């Protein structure tokens, strides 16, 4: 593949075709714009190496094997496989590459004590409202960044999440503590219905990268040894809801998962609670 990669610099990919492919993913396959962009990048790289916008099945299979031989991590290979499967379908060709098996690592999450420590070190009203919203709603960081004031139903303890991964609006429940934090922040900002809830220091809508950097900083300030990210806060809500008696269906609805399998991957009881349940229900043989 090395010689092909050297040759790839001189190969041109039909950008219009790639844009049409990404539009096909979004409209026909209901893939999120972010995933469509990733798949478009993976396919574009493949096409440049092959030197053709209409590759053969043999070329796709060989490319798949080359990625594995060269030591690419399974997640990268799997992403490329999904992209190629979609692209060949887009071209009207039949191919079915099976992605490599990925080790299902247990998602990281914070204990209640760690989450409390995180909240305590947050200084500004805006940052505190962001942390509380992520912790208490379990929404994705992109959903948080896209919130408008008109989406808030704080009197009812609800938030309408519109820009979702699955293109379906949903209502998430928020606690009184989260409502109080959001209300205090909004009062200090004097924002109107048509504006973003969370804004940057420059006045524009806050970015995903800024939220990631912020959560990481506060995690370190709190002395939490785990890598703290917005998605870890999402795991934290799911895990602790289950640990406190919530059903999987309740968690699925709150997090906006399309399938129950996605929810089951997130919900894993804390070890101490598992031991307690085990001792309660284990039969005496």
Domain with CATH 1.10.150 in the chain: 2-90
Q: Distance between CA 227 and CA 126 in Å, rounded?
A: 22
Single out the residue of 127, 118, 132 nearest to residue 222, CA to CA.
Answer: 118
User: What does the pLDDT read at residue 202?
Assistant: 84
Q: Distance between CA 26 and CA 30 in Å, rounded?
A: 5
Q: Distance between CA 21 and CA 43 in Å, rounded?
A: 10
Q: Distance between CA 111 and CA 163 in Å, rounded?
A: 29
User: What does the pLDDT read at residue 113?
Assistant: 93
Domain with CATH 1.10.443.10 in the chain: 112-279
pTM reported for the whole predicted model: 0.66
User: What does the pLDDT read at residue 233?
Assistant: 94
Residues classed as catalytic: 140, 165, 231, 234, 257, 266
Start-to-end CA span in the chain (Å): 60
User: What does the pLDDT read at residue 20?
Assistant: 93
**Coil, strand or helix at 198:** coil
Question: E strands of the chain, at which residues?
Answer: 152-153, 158-161, 170-173
Residues of the chain with pLDDT under 70: 1-13, 102-107, 163-167, 190-194, 265-275, 277
Cross-strand bridge partners of residue 159? 152, 172
Question: CATH classification of 112-279 is 3.40.50.1220, yes or no?
Answer: no
Single out the residue of 217, 192, 213, 234 nearest to residue 122, CA to CA.
Answer: 217
The kind and range of the H/E element at 24 are helix 15-28
2-90 CATH choice from 2.40.50, 3.10.20, 1.10.150, 1.10.3210: 1.10.150
């Amino acid at each position: 593949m090395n010689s092909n990669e050297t040759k790839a610099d001189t190969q041109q990919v039909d950008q219009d075709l790639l844009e049409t492919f990404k539009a096909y993913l979004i409209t026909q396959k209901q893939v999120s714009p972010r995933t469509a962009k990733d798949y478009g990048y993976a396919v574009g790289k493949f096409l440049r190496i092959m030197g053709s916008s209409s590759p053969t099945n043999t070329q796709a299979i060989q490319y798949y094997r080359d990625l594995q031989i060269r030591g690419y991590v399974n997640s990268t290979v799997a992403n490329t496989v999904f992209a190629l499967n979609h692209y060949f379908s887009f071209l009207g060709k039949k191919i079915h590459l099976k992605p490599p098996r990925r080790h299902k690592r247990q998602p990281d999450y914070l204990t209640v004590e760690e989450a409390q420590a995180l909240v305590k070190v947050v200084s500004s009203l805006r940052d505190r409202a962001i942390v509380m919203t992520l912790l208490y709603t379990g929404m994705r960081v992109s959903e948080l960044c896209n919130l408008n004031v008109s989406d808030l139903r704080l009197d009812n303890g609800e938030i309408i999440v519109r820009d979702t991964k699955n293109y379906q609006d949903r209502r998430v429940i928020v606690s009184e503590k989260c409502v109080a934090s959001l209300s205090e922040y909004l009062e200090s900002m004097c924002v109107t219905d048509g504006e973003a809830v969370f804004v940057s220091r420059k006045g524009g809508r806050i970015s995903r990268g800024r939220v990631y950097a912020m959560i990481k900083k506060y995690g370190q300030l709190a002395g939490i040894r785990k890598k703290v990210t917005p998605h870890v806060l999402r795991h934290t809500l799911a895990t602790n809801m289950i640990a406190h008696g919530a059903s999987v269906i309740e968690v699925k609805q709150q997090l906006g998962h399309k399938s129950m399998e996605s929810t089951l991957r997130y919900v894993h009881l804390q070890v101490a609670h598992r031991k307690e349940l085990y001792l309660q229900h284990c039969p005496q043989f």
